[in-house]
Amino acid sequence: MIVLGIESSCDETAAAVYGDRGLLSNVIASQTVHEQFGGVVPELASRAHHKTISATVQQALAEADVAPGEVDCIGVTQGPGLMGSLLVGLCFAKGFSLAHDVPLIGVNHMNAHIYANFIDDTPAYPFVALTVSGGHTRLELVRAAFQHKKLGETRDDAAGEAFDKIGKLLGLSYPAGPVMDRHAKGGDPSTFDFPQAMIDQGYEFSFSGLKTAVRYFLDEKREADSEFISNYLADICASVSHAITEVLVVKLKRALENHGIDTAVLAGGVAANSMLRHKVDERVRQAGYRVYIPKMAYCTDNAAMIAITAYMKAQRGEMEGVDVRPYARLSERQ
């Protein structure tokens, strides 16, 4: 079986081919138009997807050495995401499905981040999944393929959003998560004490208070020293990263212990964060748990994760017709 996967939920136009022999290609066209605005502009994202999707799919097929007629089924991100962006990928996939008479499979982007772990590995069920991206922060108990029970999620900002918004306050380019990660490596995480919201209880997260705390902190410090940010950038980045990753790792470990689960799976763009990886390694893996983290390219948005999730659904016979509908939020799923 050969599956063509398409991802267009946010600001990456991506296509990948996954088959019985594994991943055959994985192409990403990242949109740079948003950098000047410090965040994704939905209208510009849709236009950029429309401009590049055809060439991106063609490149993914060419790199996999697969002709369009050899594709057995097509998987496409159905949601959650920006509606205009989702529609571009979905309409392209529907056209491809009709033209080549192949089934279409709608893929939940959040699930796909988790199943990215199956590209190079085979995590055993049950496991606890921590999905941390620009739009979501979520802990789930996954008992079997596609049997997910939500344990908790963020009440406001996602972890990646916190990195991006705080990075913007520091004058860093968008997306600020990877930039803060780089600066944090040269800093001391214990320099400044930032809030670790809701760390003592449950599985819910909240990161908007951290952003506000950092804003007031910077305003105050800059009054006394206009060069404060440039003088302490590495220490600020390390201290902020510490506050965010501490909450994530403590709650992940709590979920594992309370549910008697011995396997943890990380997913989403923030799973690329080196301080989070280091803490999970030290405090979860070295405590005896099995830990899976996708390689960097499969952490941030990509189509390989869409293709493998569609492949897994196809193997279960979960094929759909061309009436797959997009949903901007998980709660709008029909």
Instruction: Establish if 133 lies at the interface with ligand KG4 (CB under 6 A).
Output: yes
- Under rule CB under 5 A, which residues in 133-162 are in contact with Zn ion? 133
Q: Indicate which single residue of 10, 76, 90, 238 sits in contact with ligand KG4 (rule: CB under 6 A).
A: 10
- Under rule CB under 5 A, which residues in 95-134 are in contact with Zn ion? 133
Instruction: Establish if 177 lies at the interface with ligand KG4 (CB under 6 A).
Output: yes
Q: Indicate which single residue of 19, 79, 106, 160 sits in contact with ligand KG4 (rule: CB under 6 A).
A: 160
Instruction: Establish if 178 lies at the interface with ligand KG4 (CB under 6 A).
Output: yes
Q: Indicate which single residue of 270, 284, 310, 324 sits in contact with ligand KG4 (rule: CB under 6 A).
A: 270
Instruction: Establish if 300 lies at the interface with ligand KG4 (CB under 6 A).
Output: yes
The residue written with tokens 């016979």 in the block is 317
CB of 329 to ligand KG4, least distance (A): 13
Instruction: Establish if 52 lies at the interface with Zn ion (CB under 5 A).
Output: no
Any bridge partners for residue 169, and if so which? none
Instruction: Establish if 106 lies at the interface with ligand KG4 (CB under 6 A).
Output: no
Stretch that binds ligand KG4, among 19-27, 33-41, 174-182, 305-313 (CB under 6 A): 174-182
C-alpha span between 214 and 193 (Å, rounded): 10
Residue 113, burial from CB neighbour count under 10 angstroms (0-12, 13-18, 19+): buried
Binding residues for Zn ion, rule: CB under 5 A, are: 133, 301
Binding residues for ligand KG4, rule: CB under 6 A, are: 10, 133-135, 160, 163-164, 175-178, 181, 268-270, 272-273, 300-301
